[in-house]
Amino acid sequence: MSYLDTFFLPSNVLINKFKYSFKSILGHYLLLIIFLYSKLFGQDLESNKNSNFFREDQIYLGISLASLTSNAKDFKPNALSRHFQWGIIRDIPLVSSSKFSTGLGLGMSFERYNTNLSYSEEIGYTFSLTDLDFERPLYFSIQSFEIPITLRWRNATFNDFAFWRIYGGVSLNWNFKNKAKQNSNIILFSDEFKKWGATAHLSFGYNTWNFYFAYRLNPIFSSIPRNNGDFSIQLKPIKFGLIFYIL
């Protein structure tokens, strides 16, 4: 079947094909997680040859609050938003002592943002400037796969599993599921989300508990349609919270 033929399929068939495709992607992702997980936990064979060499492979879990920044003067975040992330990281030491290294990971991110954006069929998207304008402003959620790339420092040794650390880097995100909702109505909003994103992040702390800060480098939206043209708004979240590294 060609790609052109898919446009003439019934809507229920298209939905089933999309569900199958998403399940296939998720299945392959879980298989990759299991494969990489089998490589974690336990020292590399090289560490048996050199007691100064070790890897800090990890599972990470992060919980953050987020505040949206915007180029639009009438935009106001409707309270704090929230973010959850999890994944695994492969440690790649850069020096023989393993105190400096890079990390390459694979994980998932779940974000929900509260805004004062509102939607109506007559005027499209606009701002709710007072609490009385609309029953409830619009919120949107983003689910994405992420690839964290980090430069890492820690004052650890081969036999020390509790130490100070500072990690900084960039996470590349592919947004595979987006949703916008106002009151009980789901808004057809997904085409305005950018599929790819990049987030700069910094974490520091001791042992398992670490503070986490992040700033998205590119806007969440490309543009939002209105009756009188596109509504150009740039939204970039600033995140702050905790991230847990589990050896």
Q: Is 8 helix (H, G, I), strand (E, B) or coil?
A: helix
pLDDT at 218 over 80: yes
The whole-number average pLDDT for the span 201-217 is: 94
The whole-number average pLDDT for the span 170-193 is: 77
Q: Which strands make up the sheet holding 117-120, listed edge to edge?
A: 117-120, 124-127, 224-226, 229-231
- Kindly provide the b/e burial profile for residues 53-86, where b requires at least 16 CB atoms within 10 angstroms of the residue's own CB: bbbbbbbbbbebebebebeeeebbbbeebbbebb
pLDDT greater at residue 6 or residue 191: 191
Backbone φ and ψ of 201, nearest 5°:
-140, 155
pTM comes to: 0.73
Most confident of 7-16, 210-219, 221-230: 210-219
pLDDT at 109 over 90: yes
Q: Is 197 helix (H, G, I), strand (E, B) or coil?
A: strand
The whole-number average pLDDT for the span 41-53 is: 51
Percent pLDDT > 70 in the chain is 64
pLDDT the model gives residue 138: 75
* pLDDT averaged over every residue in the chain: 75
pLDDT the model gives residue 17: 46
